[in-house]
Structure 1
Amino acid sequence: MTSSASQIRAWTGPQILGYGFRPFFLGAAVFAAFAMIAWIGALSGLWTIPSAFGPVEWHVHEFLWGYLSAVTAGFMLTAVPNWTGRLPIVGVPLAALWATWALGRIAVFFSAGWPPAVIAILDLSFLALLILVLSREIAAGRFWRNLKVLALVAMLFLGNAIYHAEMMAGVMAHDSDGLRIGLASAVLMIAVIGGRIIPSFTRNWLARRGPGAVPEPFGIDDKIVIAVTAVALLLWVVTPHYVTTALALLAAGVGNLWRLSRWVGWRTIAEPLVAILHLAYLFLPLGFLAMAAATLFPEVVPHSAGLHTWTVGAIVLMTLAVMTRASLGHSGMPLTADWRITGIYVLAAVAALSRVGAGLFPPADRLLELAATCWVLAFLLFAVVYAPLFVTRRAS
């Protein structure tokens, strides 16, 4: 049977199409920078986004279902062949899948004046196609335990479908059930997948550092915390403003803080490529605590502070951590962060802290400007550093 590595090495076309992470990670980074510039320009009155969505609604949608969907696809198309032993998707099929994602971005951006149903179909086609591809691979490889990850991708698709329906009905982003479903799927994805890879990568790195504390193995305690996290997110989706929901969010926040403490992140400071995983995960429980506080003490902690702790904090930092590491590892490069990669992390962390701070301490125009600037620079730096790797170096 041909191995995944053999299939990749046999690809003689453009190297950007030699592995799933390459076009999607690069596309996600470039799009994230473009979308922020477009959003800031629209807010400043420099131009108008020609979308049927309002500026805020477009901004929200394109973060979750533009940027995050691309990163999810890049990760899954890289991980599933390793899980199942099946051949990876390369070449023309990969290009077609990426083009479907890009078409969705173009359709939503230029959607003003177009039938909403057509825009929804064009946009939803990407995640629907990705789910079909992943389902086929998992079923063929009989790797049933990863159906839970596929379910989270399906949950992301469901949130997008509901969001489109809400936009047709004139619902605003802050009242959107689709937004909460999509964000809940992303948060749960970090809790499930991040909770596996962070202690694993940390343990592997510490094994070369000599004796000392190592991460606790995955066990029943982790399963309980994930269950509490899932219940809290379900309550937040269905009844976001109830005290019961706030208490569940509080429990999930404390549980995930305790879980993170068992992974000995303090021993990884010498290697930013590992340390960033722990910092990214820290924003997950902080988001739970902020969302709980926003319900219990809305006059002190605004709802946006919790949302941006999850989005700009946990999601952006975790996706950049995974993108930078996976791209190095699958390109045969040393798993260490040079000053440029460390710069990506610093810029993204400053963006996260500034955006959360802007929610906690209004008015904060300077913090918002700093957050937007660092966001754009972080993603452009990723594109500059990794594009040559994606285009010229053969995947391994």
Structure 2
Amino acid sequence: MTMTWPAKLAPVSRALDILSDEGFRLFFPLAAIHGALWPLLWVVAFGFELPFAKEIPPGVWHVHEMTIGTFGAALVGFITTAVPEWTDTERLRGRVLLVLAALWGVARLIGLVGGEALGILGAVCELLWIAALIAYLVRVSFLKRTTRLVGFIFWISALFIAEAVTRYGFLTIETHAELAGHAAHIAGFIFLGILGIALARITVPVTNLVLDPSEQTSPFRPHPGRMNLAPALVAVLVAGEALGLSEPTTGYLFIAAGAAFMDRVAEAFIGKKIVRAEILALAGTSTFAGLGLMLIGTAQLGWPATRLGGLHLALMGGLGLGILSVFAIAGLRHTGQALGFVRQTRAAMLLLAAAVLLRAVPEIWPTDLLPVAPYALVAVLWAAAFLLWLKVYWPFFRNPRTFEQDGC
């Protein structure tokens, strides 16, 4: 007896029900797959070119896809998972999440091949999912009469503007190529601002859980004035970049924002438990972001190193390790698992750090041993980090028994 189409599609429908039950289940795997495969294909299969990119430089497509693509999916998963918990509201699920994923996914397929002919479609899809995220945050803030989400509303609104300018540059690339590239990089710095306020929300409960697994006390209480220092200075930096201030002026702004991230690293010194992978991952995130921003600043002030090395440390390292840390921590806590990275998760983070260093160090300090970055190896290590994380966490995400296991 042959199976009917409804019977054949039942497992797919069940899987979609599970994955769309909460934002992290759907968007964290999507971000990991995109982050792993898109740069690997760009380097290994396409040879730094894109099949249908004629006017837009492939490098600009690459920056855009990594920020709005990989980090964008991580942002959707984080916001749609964390905000209901912070505000005690009903979470988005089902069709709403699938529509957001479809909008994001259409833009990613266009970006994969540099589909300039479908530029308007890609722009519409991209701006719609970002606008939907802003509308969701505004709606929750209004319903709960809270200002707790204002920081995220500000940064995601800034991301919308940066993406709109980038897409305008894409559509008029003949005359606005420089504008498109500049706006794409500003979007990356905006994500660093989002990272700053996310770390302020994540570091405190994670550190307290490490110090007191019973959750009976809160021994770690950071200085309130330091919690939002990094995103505040990144906001000043983004404003300076958007206004077109001189390179020496923005150079000092880069250094100040980087120093604020380095200040966050000090919070990791909590005694002997600093060796916990969860603490080191969050500290490493701030270290990469801080060093990268400061290197960009010193390069603009005349230090003999390229700005590109600092960009890769800050965006590839700070944001990359940041989202992998969020994936690992939230993935455990929202599926009812105890906090503690297994060996494969720790290995994934080491692979990512190795990829970042191999990519950035030759730009900062080229040597005879490593005169240029080994691009293929970097892409393979980067992809391996995300795919290894996905291998470990996928059974938790697709398991229906973890639906109500929320302990974050």
In structure 2, the gaps of 5 or more residues are 1-13
Q: Does 1:126 align with 2:133?
A: no
Alignment of structure 1 residues 280-299 onto 2, 5 Å: 280-298=285-303
In structure 1, C-alpha distance between the alignment counterparts of 2:319 and 2:27, rounded to whole Å: 16
Q: Distance in 1 between matches of 2:254 and 2:292?
A: 9
Q: Does the Cα contact within 8 Å between 1:30 and 1:380 map onto a contact in 2?
A: yes
Aligned partner (choices 98, 102, 110) of residue 107 of structure 1: 110
CA contact (8 A) 2:166 2:184 kept: yes
Tell me which of the two structures has the higher relative contact order, counting C-alpha pairs closer than 8 angstroms and 6 or more residues apart. 1
- Are residue 352 (structure 1) and residue 356 (structure 2) matched? yes
Q: State the distance in 2 between where 1:340 and 1:175 align.
A: 38
Further displaced range: 366-375 or 257-266: 257-266
Q: Which residue of 2 aligns with 1:233?
A: 238
Unaligned runs of at least 5 residues, structure 1:
1-10
Provide the rounded CA distance (Å) in 2 between the counterparts of 1:272 and 1:26: 21
Question: Equivalent of 2:394, from 376, 380, 387?
Answer: 387
Higher mean C-alpha displacement, 229-238 vs 193-202: 229-238
Structure 1 residues 316, 223: closer, same or farther in 2, change over 3 A?
A: closer
In structure 2, how many angstroms separate the alpha carbons of the residues matched to 1:242 and 1:32?
31
Partner of 2:82: 79
For residues 93-104 of structure 1, the aligned pairs below 5 Å read 93-104=96-107
- Pair 1:72–1:338, CA change in 2 (3 A): same
Deviation at 1:323, TM superposition (A): 0.7
Partner of 1:3: none
Is 2:312 the partner of 1:335? no
User: Number of paired residues?
Assistant: 382
Deviation at 1:209, TM superposition (A): 10
Contact 1:241 1:295 (8 Å CA) reproduced: no
Structure 1 residues 206 and 174, CA gap change in structure 2 (3 angstroms)? farther
**Offset of residue 280 of structure 1:** 0.9
Structure 1 residue 68 displacement after superposition: 0.8
Which TM-score applies when normalising by structure 2? 0.85
User: Quick check: 184-193 or 132-141, which moved more?
Assistant: 132-141
The answer (yes or no) to whether the contact 1:51–1:108 under 8 Å persists in 2 is no
* Mapped contact 1:16–1:23 kept (Cα < 8 A): yes
Paired residue for 2:183?
178
Identity across aligned pairs (percent)? 25
Q: 1:56–1:173: 8 Å Cα contact kept in structure 2?
A: no
CA 166–175 in structure 1, closer or farther in 2 if over 3 Å, else same: closer
How far is the alpha carbon of 1:101 from its aligned partner? 1.2
Measure, in 2, the Cα distance between the counterparts of 1:364 and 1:379.
Answer: 27
2:146 corresponds to 1:143? yes
The answer to whether the 8 Å contact 1:214/1:264 transfers is no
Partners of 1:18 and 1:148 in 2: CA distance: 26
Q: 2:387 is aligned with what amino acid? A: L
Rounded Cα–Cα distance in structure 2 between residues aligned with 1:283 and 1:34: 23
CA RMSD of superposed structures (Å): 2.7
Deviation per residue, 1:15-48 (Å, 9 max, x gap): 1122111110001101111101221035537x74
Residue pair 1:216, 1:263 contacting (<8 A) in 2 also:
no
Q: Equivalents in 2 of 1:368, 1:237: separation in Å?
A: 31
SS of 1:86's partner is coil
1: CA distance between counterparts of 2:230 and 2:253? 11
Distance 2:23 2:323 in 1: 15
Q: Could you tell me which residue of structure 2 aligns to residue 376 of structure 1?
A: 383
1:319 is displaced (CA, Å) by 0.4
2:249 alignment partner in structure 1 = 244
Alpha-carbon shift at residue 67 of structure 1 (Å): 0.7
Q: Taking structure 1 as reference, are residues 221 and 36 closer, same or farther at Cα in structure 2, changes over 3 Å only?
A: closer
- 1:159–1:177 CA contact under 8 A, matched in 2: no
- 1:301 Cα shift? 1.4
1:30 aligns with 2:1: no
Q: Which amino acid aligns with 1:334?
A: A
AA at the equivalent of 2:59: V
Q: Deviations over 1:234-275 (max 9, x none)?
A: 223433643222222222323332342144266444321232
Contact 1:312 1:351 in 2 (8 A): no
Q: How far apart, in 1, do the equivalents of 2:236 and 2:116 lie?
A: 40
2:330 corresponds to: 326
The structural deviation recorded for 1:111 is 5.6
Cα 1:225–1:34 change in 2 (3 A) is closer
Taking a change above 3 Å as real, the CA distance of residues 266 and 253 of structure 1, as seen in their structure-2 partners, is farther
Residue aligned with 1:144, SS: coil
User: CA separation in 2, counterparts of 1:37 and 1:118?
Assistant: 25
SS of equivalent to 1:78: helix
Q: Report if aligned partners of 2:196, 2:228 keep a CA contact under 8 Å in 1.
A: no
| Structure 1 stretches of at least 4 aligned residues deviating more than 6 Å after TM superposition | none
